[in-house]
């Protein structure tokens, strides 16, 4: 962990932080979504992370997609805001966050999807039928469910 959140952790330890985040649901030509198996909780999720000081949310989302999945977003579009008790999460190391997350979708990207920074062990495109919501990271499970309902129906 680096950047703003890492600095805050030095001050507050594991106590709950409000974490502003930006994420991307990457979609292939067949309409499948790209998910990565997280190395910390072994659950599936999309690319995303904390917004740094003065960073635009869109730039954060694109940066996270590149850092975690090796893809360069050509165009992203707003999809959803994830906040409230459903977005509260305790990481396996005990760090606790109350997320305010802006989620984008990306259908225009280039690169070869590969885990990049150690946060994800495996990447895979999933069709609607292949997604098992019980295997999605808890704080984003309802986001993936909303995407399936609104965009994959």
Q: What is the pLDDT of residues 86-134, one digit of tens each?
A: 999 999 999 999 999 999 999 999 999 999 988 999 999 999 999 999 9
Q: Which of 1-5, 20-24, 80-84, 108-112 shows the lowest mean pLDDT across its residues? A: 1-5
In the prediction, which pLDDT does 1 show?
63
Work out the mean pLDDT of the chain and round it to a whole number.
96
In the predicted model, what is the mean pLDDT of residues 61-90? 97
Is the per-residue pLDDT at 80 higher than 70? Answer: yes
Q: What number of H helices and E strands is found in the chain? A: 3, 8
Range 76-89 average pLDDT: 97
Query: Is residue 113 within 8 Å of residue 35, measured between CB atoms?
Result: no
| Tally of structural domains, the chain | 1
CATH of the domain at 14: 3.90.79.10
Query: What is the percent of the chain with per-residue pLDDT over 90, rounded to a whole number?
Result: 96
The pLDDT of residue 2 is 74
Determine the pLDDT at residue 153: 79
Quote the domain boundaries for residue 60: 3-151
In degrees to the nearest 10, what's the CA dihedral of 40, 43, 46, 51? -40
Token pair in block for residue 119: 């946060």
């Amino acid at each position: 962990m680096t950047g703003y959140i890492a600095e805050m952790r030095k001050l507050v330890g594991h106590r709950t932080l409000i974490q502003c985040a930006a994420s991307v649901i990457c979609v292939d030509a067949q309409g499948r979504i790209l998910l990565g198996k997280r190395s910390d909780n072994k659950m599936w999720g999309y690319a995303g992370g904390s917004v740094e000081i003065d960073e635009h949310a869109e730039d954060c989302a694109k940066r996270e997609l590149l850092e975690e999945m090796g893809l360069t977003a050509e165009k992203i579009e707003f999809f959803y805001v994830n906040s409230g008790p459903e977005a509260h999460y305790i990481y396996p190391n005990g760090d606790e966050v109350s997320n305010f997350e802006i989620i984008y979708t990306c259908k225009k990207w280039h690169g070869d999807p590969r885990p990049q920074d150690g946060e994800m062990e495996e990447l895979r495109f999933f069709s609607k039928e292949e997604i098992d919501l019980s295997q999605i990271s808890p704080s984003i499970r309802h986001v993936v469910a909303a995407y399936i309902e609104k965009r994959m129906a």
